Structure 1
Amino acid sequence: MSLSDSDREVVVDELGREPTPAEAALFENLWSEHCAYRSSRPLLGAFESEGEQVIIGPGDDAAVIALPEPSGEGNSETYITMGIESHNHPSYVDPFDGAATGVGGIVRDTLSMGAYPIALLDSLYFGDFEREHSRYLLEGVVEGISHYGNCIGVPTVGGSVDFHERYEGNPLVNVACVGLTNEDRMITAIAQKPGNKLVLVGNATGRDGLGGASFASEDLSEDAETEDRPAVQVGDPYSEKLLIEANEQLIEEELIESARDLGAAGLGGASSELVAKGGLGADIDLEAVHQREPNMNALEILLAESQERMCYEVTPGNVDRVAEIADRFDLGCSVIGEVTDTGWYVCRFDGEVAVDAPAEFLGEGAPMNDLDHVEPEQPETDLPDVPLDEAFETIIGAPSTASKRWVYRQYDHEVGVRTSVPPGDDAAVLAIRETEGEDGAGTGLALSSGAAPNWTETAPYDGARAVALENATNIAAKGATPLAAVDCLNGGNPEKPDVYGGFKGIVDGLADMCAELSVPVVGGNVSLYNDSPTGPIPPTPTLAMAGTKAGYDAPGLAATADTDLVLVGDRGLDEGTPRLGGSEYLARFGGTDSFPELPENPADVVEALSQIAQFDSTVAVHDVSHGGLAVSLAEMIDEDVGLDVSLPGDAPAAELFHEQPGRALVATTDLDAVEAVFNGVAPVERVGTGTDDGTLRIDTGEETIRVDAMTVAERRDVIERELD
């Protein structure tokens, strides 16, 4: 860890002296890209984050959103929290612990808002699946997520997994958490009153994770797996489970004034940000911190990122009761200092002052970066010529578009007994029973998360718009209305103008489409310097979106016999032929093309699809995006249900494999109802019927693709087949 010369000059000018070693390290971590968003903050104003449903937006540990009444009139008294974070660099160095502690961190962000965690979603990005190292990382990350999530009893209900060669030297692990709370339980990360005590509850502090924030703000080196191991935290999910239940008791007894979890920059980050947000200061005794390793110095105590720890603001009269509850749950508890009215953050150690700096300056004083950017250009059209049956077989079995059953079957998605629609569908649906409708069915909470690196590599702006639309379409396919979203914006080294141009593109694209959909982006995370000797990652805008509906039942994916199969949505035509840019087809067979045009009225398309999905006559709804129509059709058959399909156009490869989102396949017994809802909104085309023979037949006019459900399932289980 080392403070740059330019930052040191700013610090010296503010303090009027040279910083102490502990101060220099604290500034270096709090002013890192990971904590201060020095390159991204100038761009983030593009997001619209307000709405009548938004109780707390960006800036806290997690956002707080009011669920609407089942009647659709006004908001209920039930709130959800939404947060997302990345643990990319740690997951490269140590995939198990890196991914596990990513789960633990986002869960504690949920706790610090007074919420109980009810769901996790993970979006994972790895290098070429054919490479042994990519599989090693995949197996370790999935094991870490499943171990931690299963042990703490929070279901992992959704997410995404993508493979792309540019993640080979720098995988991405983005984890979102949803919590449940209400107005009476809610707390924030804003210190309330001078004289209140700062109490540290949870595991003892060790030397693990030192410099984790600064490590996350630099390119990965060839030796990262060995040299940077000390910067990776080590998780203990059993302690986290105790912390979850202790936090619940503290909230129920109204013992907490404010809270912040200890994540990036450890105790120094959590406690200084807590008081700075309240315009207050703190006086902290570092020697009072309960420790698990001998002879720790001030810098280590201040910046270690040991896991399963929370910093609480507690009134003096409640300190003893907090300690009793911590002891009941076998957790450590230390009164480490108090909130002051000075505005200064002071830490003492061994009879000396180790840190003495303005709290607000620590958190907000980092100079922003003014970086050059180069606008990316769309590629020309140069398409391969591949036999249709070969292309179909390849695309439905490509790792990015194939079944992810091997991944999600390792997660306990039923713990908590809220999961109505499990992983493997367009979106998960949870039952929120606290909000009762007239029929007593309560509210369904639909959740979708993911990005599309092929899209955003080809066209950062349009690809990011498509990511937002695709997540909204997933929500609508379950009959829900999008409510709010959080994002995890991943990019390479922003000091490279082409990389920063791509990053700017995904920010603007995501912001613009979310605004068009009236979906406020209420929080998020930025992860830059995802660059390694193999090059920068594709700009990757993971979006986690929530939507609501009355009740928790939803149409599935499988069609039934004697139903009409309808394709709804604009076909993205360019002079009569859909564009293949960003498709898995081009990723597999080479060639280039521009990205498909998106619908001009995306909000209307999403609203209409949500309405259709609620009809009794609707048997199945499935969005059409990754892998195109080919993959969506393959996912709608099983051993008992087949499909007879006729392609709508004259370019079968383009029709089958282009990936324009905002489209869906609907299996219905009332074609007229579908046409009526989409009249004036988007085209509706009957493309086939359901059968009872478990065979998919696709007639292109020139040839027929014929494949049975067993063959499709075997082809799509490539990940499970290769790893088990």
Structure 2
Amino acid sequence: MTLDTVKHASDTPEVEQPWAELGLKRDEYDRIREILGRRPTGAELAMYSVMWSEHCSYKSSKVHLKQFGEKAPESDALLVGIGENAGVVDVGQGYAVTFKVESHNHPSYIEPYQGAATGVGGIVRDILAMGARPVAVMDPLRFGAPDHPDTKRVLPGVVAGIGGYGNCLGLPNIGGEVVFDPCYQGNPLVNALCVGVMRHEDIHLAKASGTGNKVILYGARTGGDGIGGVSVLASETFDETGPAKRPAVQVGDPFQEKLLIECTLEVFKENLVVGIQDLGGAGLSCATSELASAGSGGMRIDLDTVPLRDSTLSPEEILMSESQERMCAIVEPDKVDRFLEICEKWDVIATVIGEVTDGDRLEIYWHGEQIVDVPPRTVAHEGPVYHRPYARPEWQDALQADDANRLPRPSSGAELREQVLRLVSSPNQASKAWITDQYDRYVLGNTVLAQPEDSGMIRIDEETGLGVAVATDGNGRYAKLDPYTGAQLALAESYRNVATTGAKPLAVTDCLNFGSPEDPGAMWQFAEACRGLADACQVLGTPVTGGNVSLYNQTGDTAIHPTPVVGVLGVIDDVSRRTPMAFSEEGQLIYLLGDTREELGGSAWSQVIHDHLGGMPPKVDLERERLLAEILISASRDGMIDAAHDLSDGGLIQALTESCLKGGKGARLIVPEELDAFVFLFSESAGRAIVSVPRSEELRFTDMCGVRGLPATRIGVVDGDAIEVQGQFSIPLAELREAHETTIPALLSDGLA
């Protein structure tokens, strides 16, 4: 192949180039020519194609994402916000915590094990690049119908990839979700979150500054895996037979990543790095252009010095490769030798591949010939911005008018009992232990709470007990009914889950999973969800620190439910005072906090019993969510409650079942006079939680709720070995446990064969 150098590109403007095959539109290609004043070289075309992809440039979502900055609430805790590898918040005592959630959806459908494994690896490197030690991961997952053959292909591979990579890294997996719905058939959602800890002074940013400073590529050798992954896979709608193009999915090596983590933390400790960037989506194209764009000068790279696994790779392929376990550091010349020594100590390959220049161009050479000469900002930060047309779907009114509150209801205690058992044994409400038991939740010894608790919790400081809690939530059924409210409900639930354990919510990360941006209906869902989330974050005082957008989650004309996954991070001064979900002491009083209304739209009951989706989702009262959180945090800190569990999918009976089974204690309930038994058990009204209160604390607790204006209704007592609803039914815990714990193994265990 003839090498396209910069001079040759200037001299041959008429040469046809494969811009469409690389995912570019005609007007995008024309704009590249306008920026450069000539046609791009092959290497430049490769760089622009991956960096201007939907996945990297956010070209369809930028106009809506800007609300997260424009409406951001004031926050004393926010140290680093949107725009870096991950957000950073102050959690006190000189500690900072960084966290972020991203997607690896399409690669995980193509190659479940490696797609999921490299999703974990990529988000861990984002956290590492901020200067933090990664301390925990979480995985919100969505799959198609649980009995579909392809779910049995995808799910076991995804779970094995998450467990295999995370367990080998020695990082506890402390939470997440597993949701089944036919809408995710062919478009599973594999989102990955990582949390890292550092001191304030250890924060690092992705920028290349200082003329003459060296650019060092270190970690694994560059291979042919994942070439074009972000521009082709993540920016393409699948047809019914799968993706039209199947670039190789990245291949992960967790042991190499573990060495990379320890090596990087040591060079941080010795203050050897000016700027740093991980190599994830778009590989070297991303790392070099973003570092140069965010820095104070230009950059020169000698691409032929990059260590390769495959000597036949072309320059374009090297620039586009998404080989894993690689980092790019900017190092002062007099510190290079020490940097390389540390890399050698950890058996990490490290190579000086270039240097920071005093110009304003990113220049890349191949065996002495210039193959790239571009303004780096045009590659990294000045890609296309689309104002995609969006419109409320014609079917939205009919969907909302199909009110779930009108569905047939149980008319006797026996029917109620039967529907309770059907609910708690349904795939979405059943125990996910078969999945989560494949993850190590306690490695490193600092895990305080892990799934199935409301939020995962990690101890940060052994001496004081300082810790952080993280939860992720998102209900695509709610968002399908009303994306504005659905996004707010996702935030409210995650916020509530953090507060339920006793931690104070501080900040948000999000992973916005939607259909094709070229579909005005899907784009309307996205716009509404962004608006809803930004408005809610403003009220709750929790700024968005960063996250990810995943579009084109669509098979043919059928999109997934709009699925905004929201992660909330909170801080707790002493993890020994956290509140678990399990009822553990007989005789304690069970209180229901919040108001219960007849709200069944998008509910688990309507799905399980009637296979129905319609009506309106539960109403959101963000001020009530704030009040509930304050009560839960105060009660936890002051020892007024022994257990707490938020009410969400499945309503009161689902939460009660989980708290009873976790603690091995039954409960006797009385239906409040103002409610009928059905609404009491199955309503999914937001802003609610159940707590168990020691009798000695009842007066203090109810006085606190009364003074602050939070409804607190005594609904029963922890007692016996059954859940008994007075005047309606009784179900022994053994029968509930059998229903709750056998569903997932029965559906999925044969998928491992």
Could you tell me which amino acid in structure 1 is paired with residue 603 of structure 2? S
The CA distance in 2 between the partners of 1:374 and 1:390, in whole Å, is 42
- Give the C-alpha shift of residue 19 in structure 1: 0.9
The CA distance in 1 between the partners of 2:558 and 2:588, in whole Å, is 49
Match of 1:537 among 549, 553, 560: 560
The CA distance in 2 between the partners of 1:53 and 1:617, in whole Å, is 28
State the match for 2:703 in structure 1. Answer: 676
Could you tell me which amino acid in structure 1 is paired with residue 65 of structure 2? L
Q: Quick check: which one's helix share is greater?
A: 2
Q: Find out whether 1:347 has 2:364 as its counterpart.
A: yes
Could you tell me which amino acid in structure 2 is paired with residue 539 of structure 1? P
Check the 8 A contact 2:492/2:622 in 1, yes or no.
no
The CA distance in 2 between the partners of 1:614 and 1:721, in whole Å, is 41
- Give the C-alpha shift of residue 49 in structure 1: 6.4
User: What is the correspondence of 1:51-450 to structure 2 with a 5 Å cutoff?
Assistant: 51-68=75-92, 76-214=93-231, 215-224=233-242, 228-375=245-392, 376-377=396-397, 378-382=400-404, 383-387=406-410, 388-433=416-461, 440-450=463-473
Change beyond 3 A, Cα 1:49–1:364: farther
State the match for 1:13 in structure 2. Answer: 34
Q: Which moved more, 1:629-638 or 1:90-99?
A: 629-638
Check the 8 A contact 2:491/2:567 in 1, yes or no.
no
Could you tell me which amino acid in structure 2 is paired with residue 402 of structure 1? A
State the match for 1:664 in structure 2. Answer: 689
Q: Which moved more, 1:518-527 or 1:227-236?
A: 227-236
Check the 8 A contact 1:3/1:24 in 2, yes or no.
no
Q: Find out whether 1:40 has 2:93 as its counterpart.
A: no
Aligned-partner SS, 1:467: helix
Aligned-partner SS, 2:247: helix
Check the 8 A contact 2:491/2:566 in 1, yes or no.
yes
The CA distance in 2 between the partners of 1:641 and 1:430, in whole Å, is 26
Deviations 1:337-370 (A, max 9, x none): 1111212111111332221110011112222111
User: What is the correspondence of 1:480-629 to structure 2 with a 5 Å cutoff?
Assistant: 480-533=503-556, 535-553=558-576, 554-559=578-583, 560-571=585-596, 573=597, 578-588=598-608, 589-591=610-612, 592-599=614-621, 601=623, 602-629=625-652
Change beyond 3 A, Cα 1:721–1:7: same
The CA distance in 1 between the partners of 2:668 and 2:289, in whole Å, is 63
State the match for 1:28 in structure 2. Answer: 49
Give structure 1 stretches of 5+ with no counterpart: 69-75, 435-439
Change beyond 3 A, Cα 1:705–1:441: farther
Could you tell me which amino acid in structure 2 is paired with residue 713 of structure 1? R
Check the 8 A contact 1:155/1:416 in 2, yes or no.
yes
The CA distance in 2 between the partners of 1:629 and 1:536, in whole Å, is 31
Aligned-partner SS, 1:543: strand
Check the 8 A contact 1:273/1:363 in 2, yes or no.
yes
The CA distance in 1 between the partners of 2:58 and 2:664, in whole Å, is 52
- Give the C-alpha shift of residue 160 in structure 1: 0.8
**Equivalent residues, number:** 702
The CA distance in 1 between the partners of 2:36 and 2:169, in whole Å, is 44
Aligned-partner SS, 1:231: coil
Could you tell me which amino acid in structure 2 is paired with residue 338 of structure 1? E
Change beyond 3 A, Cα 1:655–1:358: same
Match of 2:488 among 465, 474, 479: 465
- Give the C-alpha shift of residue 132 in structure 1: 2.1
- Give the C-alpha shift of residue 415 in structure 1: 1.0
The CA distance in 2 between the partners of 1:84 and 1:459, in whole Å, is 23
Aligned-partner SS, 2:387: coil
The CA distance in 2 between the partners of 1:384 and 1:391, in whole Å, is 14
- Give the C-alpha shift of residue 50 in structure 1: 5.1
Q: Which moved more, 1:504-513 or 1:41-50?
A: 41-50
The CA distance in 2 between the partners of 1:555 and 1:53, in whole Å, is 23
Could you tell me which amino acid in structure 1 is paired with residue 600 of structure 2? L
Aligned-partner SS, 1:184: helix
- Give the C-alpha shift of residue 223 in structure 1: 4.2
- Give the C-alpha shift of residue 97 in structure 1: 0.2
- Give the C-alpha shift of residue 640 in structure 1: 4.5
Q: Which moved more, 1:612-621 or 1:208-217?
A: 612-621
The CA distance in 2 between the partners of 1:637 and 1:222, in whole Å, is 43
Change beyond 3 A, Cα 1:541–1:640: closer
Give structure 2 stretches of 5+ with no counterpart: 1-21, 411-415
Q: Find out whether 1:647 has 2:674 as its counterpart.
A: no
State the TM-score, normalized to the length of structure 2: 0.91
- Give the C-alpha shift of residue 659 in structure 1: 1.7
Change beyond 3 A, Cα 1:512–1:2: closer
Match of 1:454 among 477, 501, 504: 477
Q: CA RMSD in A?
A: 1.6
Check the 8 A contact 2:593/2:710 in 1, yes or no.
yes
State the TM-score, normalized to the length of structure 1: 0.94
- Give the C-alpha shift of residue 430 in structure 1: 1.1
Could you tell me which amino acid in structure 2 is paired with residue 673 of structure 1? R
Q: Find out whether 1:698 has 2:725 as its counterpart.
A: yes
The CA distance in 1 between the partners of 2:671 and 2:530, in whole Å, is 35
The CA distance in 2 between the partners of 1:654 and 1:379, in whole Å, is 20
Identity %: 37
- Runs of 4+ off more than 6 Å: none
Aligned-partner SS, 1:688: strand
Change beyond 3 A, Cα 1:347–1:49: farther
Aligned-partner SS, 1:449: strand
- Give the C-alpha shift of residue 390 in structure 1: 2.7
Change beyond 3 A, Cα 1:196–1:423: same
Change beyond 3 A, Cα 1:222–1:317: farther
- Give the C-alpha shift of residue 452 in structure 1: 1.3
- Give the C-alpha shift of residue 528 in structure 1: 0.7
The CA distance in 1 between the partners of 2:235 and 2:607, in whole Å, is 30
- Give the C-alpha shift of residue 113 in structure 1: 1.0
The CA distance in 2 between the partners of 1:235 and 1:50, in whole Å, is 39
Aligned-partner SS, 1:441: coil
Could you tell me which amino acid in structure 2 is paired with residue 466 of structure 1? L
Could you tell me which amino acid in structure 2 is paired with residue 34 of structure 1? H
State the match for 2:413 in structure 1. Answer: none
The CA distance in 1 between the partners of 2:298 and 2:281, in whole Å, is 20
